[in-house]
């Protein structure tokens, strides 16, 4: 008989914690290199593949720094971009497709570098970072036209925001369970893997060098003043175990006119398929179209 998967995971985590605990004491530099690589490693997607969940649509490819980013479009009209999060794929946001098409929008989605069908990112197979996720989003928008709205999930929210600081425009934003302040997650990461300050401090410095940006670049509440913030709806569950509800609270406080909608018992993933959340998001986006028509 084979051991259950949960048993294997516990054994692997126990071994990792023991190894990192030793490195914390005797070789924090080596531990930091290992930790940085794990921090930037994209988790394997466990959901259903795209063909099983999406209508065919029109496939497209854009090139970012010589690497192919694959996506699909559906419908016609103002463009709404669906941006997946860390370890996800574009089809995770499939629940939004039909309501958006029915409302008269063109829907664009894609897989970020080292995710789904797209090529590996610049850090190598299985690794990625927020800046290149932002670059991929910007390239897709450049190829498919102005964004009436963006619906982003988790770390995809951070990537979309970073693109806005680089000149991408969007009339409306919907952030689902966003990660807006990454630094606190390094402490959670360290506690999970069994290392402390000596490794974590070096890991933070090493990751910044590897991605080419300081961590402050990814602190969204502190950077809102750098853009002309469009209307924002952020949706979060206080019980989310992947991203902190406090991230949405901090962003909503810093973002003029932002709406924070609190949900319960949806966590990080069920939120993506909640019919009430989908309806609220589409209504928010449609209101943006009505405001634009009234102003013209």
- Number of domains into which the chain is organized: 2
Q: Are residues 23 and 83 in the same domain?
A: no
Residue 200 class from Cβ within 10 Å (0-12 exposed, 13-18 middle, 19+ buried)? buried
Residue 276 falls inside a structural domain:
yes
Residue 71 falls inside a structural domain:
yes
Residue 45 falls inside a structural domain:
no
Residue 46 falls inside a structural domain:
no
Please give the chain's pLDDT, 296 residues, in tens.
Answer: 334 434 334 548 888 999 999 999 999 999 999 999 999 999 987 665 555 556 788 999 999 999 999 999 999 999 999 999 999 999 899 999 999 999 999 999 999 999 999 999 999 999 999 999 999 999 999 999 999 999 999 999 999 999 999 999 999 999 999 999 999 999 999 999 999 999 999 999 999 999 999 999 999 999 999 999 999 999 999 999 999 999 999 999 999 999 999 999 999 999 999 999 999 999 999 995 655 555 44
Q: Are residues 81 and 168 in the same domain?
A: yes
What's the confidence (pLDDT) of residue 55? 74
Q: Are residues 116 and 258 in the same domain?
A: yes
| Sign of CA pseudo-dihedral 155, 179, 30, 194 | negative
Q: How far is residue 49 CA from its own chain's centroid?
A: 19
Give residue 12's domain range: 1-39+186-216
Q: Are residues 7 and 152 in the same domain?
A: no
Residue 285 falls inside a structural domain:
yes
Q: Are residues 149 and 251 in the same domain?
A: yes
pTM above 0.85, yes or no: yes
Q: Are residues 67 and 124 in the same domain?
A: yes
Q: Are residues 150 and 85 in the same domain?
A: yes
CA distance 55 to 15: 43
Q: Are residues 203 and 275 in the same domain?
A: no
Q: What is the CATH number of the domain that holds 88?
A: 3.40.50.1820
Q: Are residues 227 and 286 in the same domain?
A: yes
Q: Are residues 194 and 262 in the same domain?
A: no
Q: Are residues 105 and 243 in the same domain?
A: yes
What's the confidence (pLDDT) of residue 271? 96
């Amino acid at each position: 008989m084979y051991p259950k998967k949960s048993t294997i995971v516990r054994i692997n985590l126990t071994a990792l914690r023991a190894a990192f605990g030793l490195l914390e004491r005797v070789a924090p530099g080596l531990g930091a290199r290992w930790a940085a690589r794990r921090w930037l490693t994209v988790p394997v997607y466990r959901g259903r593949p795209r063909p099983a969940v999406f209508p065919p649509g029109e496939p497209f490819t854009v090139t970012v720094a010589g690497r192919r980013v694959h996506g699909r479009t559906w419908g016609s009209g103002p463009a709404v971009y669906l941006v997946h999060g860390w370890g996800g794929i574009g089809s995770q946001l499939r629940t939004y497709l039909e309501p958006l098409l029915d409302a008269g929008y063109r829907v664009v989605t894609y897989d970020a570098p080292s995710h789904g069908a797209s090529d590996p990112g610049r850090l190598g197979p299985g690794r990625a970072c927020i800046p290149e996720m932002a670059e991929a989003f910007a390239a897709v928008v450049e190829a498919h036209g102005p964004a009436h709205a963006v619906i982003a999930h988790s770390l995809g929210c951070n990537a979309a925001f970073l693109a806005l600081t680089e000149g991408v425009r969007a009339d409306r934003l919907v952030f689902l369970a966003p990660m807006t302040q990454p630094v606190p997650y390094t402490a959670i990461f360290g506690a999970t893997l069994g290392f402390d300050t000596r490794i974590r401090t070096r890991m933070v410095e090493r990751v910044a060098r590897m991605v080419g940006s300081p961590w402050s670049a990814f602190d969204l509440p502190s950077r809102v003043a750098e853009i002309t913030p469009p209307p924002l709806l952020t949706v979060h569950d206080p019980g989310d175990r992947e991203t902190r509800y406090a991230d949405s609270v901090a962003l909503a406080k810093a973002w003029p006119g932002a709406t924070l909608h609190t949900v319960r018992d949806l966590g990080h993933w069920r939120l993506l398929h909640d019919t009430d959340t989908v309806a609220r998001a589409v209504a928010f986006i449609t209101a943006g179209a009505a405001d634009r028509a009234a102003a013209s």
